[in-house]
Amino acid sequence: MQDHYSTMLGARSTDLEFYTRVMLAVVVCGLSFGLPFAIYHLIWGNPWLSAILLPVIVLQLVTVYLLRRNGFSRLAAAIIAVLQTAATTFFAFAVPGFSATYWLFASGVANYYIVDRNTALLMNVAACAVVAVFALEELADAVRYCASFAMVNIFLYSFARQLEKKMPSSTAC
């Protein structure tokens, strides 16, 4: 799989195969959970929520195809990360109550799998800030949400950093 991506990333073939497998796992997980919710909202819930979920699902299917055909792409990883973070942030606004904010934890974890740790942290902090300021009505809820989201991100960021130190021959995605 040594191709233009490996030259662009400065990564070895085995690294690119690893990133491709990780991206496939993240996308398949997103499809496995996103599709049932899209169908549910289309039939019984809010059809306009499906209108947001279905394009994300289509993009994930396209990503699976491209990953299988071309292997890892940093651009594809960034698109998936931005799209899923934007969609889960939107759901925090669209679904009344605190429960929709839980999906940001899942997308935040996925970000550390598919983009570099600094980009993941930046995206997650931005999503948390938007949700805390604009979607959560109670200040106490916003503080609790930000504290727990910060804790998860500190753990993930630290783990990603330690993993990079442990595997110096590997280039981070």
Tokens 């109670």 correspond to: 138
Give the pLDDT of the chain (173 residues) as one tens digit per residue.
Answer: 334 344 444 556 777 788 888 888 888 888 888 889 889 888 987 888 888 888 888 888 888 888 888 888 888 888 889 988 998 898 888 877 778 888 899 999 999 988 999 999 999 999 999 999 988 989 999 999 999 999 999 999 999 899 888 765 544 55
Tell me if 172 is assigned to some domain.
no
The whole domain housing 65 covers: 4-166
In the chain, how many domains are there?
Answer: 1
* Cα four-point dihedral sign 54, 55, 57, 61: positive
* 8 A C-beta contact, residue 104 and residue 149: yes
Indicate whether 126 belongs to any domain.
yes
Reported pTM: 0.79
Going from the C-alpha of 11 to that of each of 7, 19, 161, the distances in angstroms are 7, 10, 17
Give 97: exposed, middle or buried? Use CB within 10 Å, 0-12, 13-18, 19+: exposed
Would residue 151 count as lying in a domain?
Answer: yes
Nearest-angstrom CA–CA distance, 143 and 90: 19
**Residue 169 contacts residue 125 (beta carbons within 8 Å):** no
Q: Which residues, other chains included, contact 18 with Cβ-Cβ below 8 Å and sequence gap of 6+?
A: 170
Q: Give the phi and the psi of residue 12 in degrees, each rounded to 5.
A: -80, 165
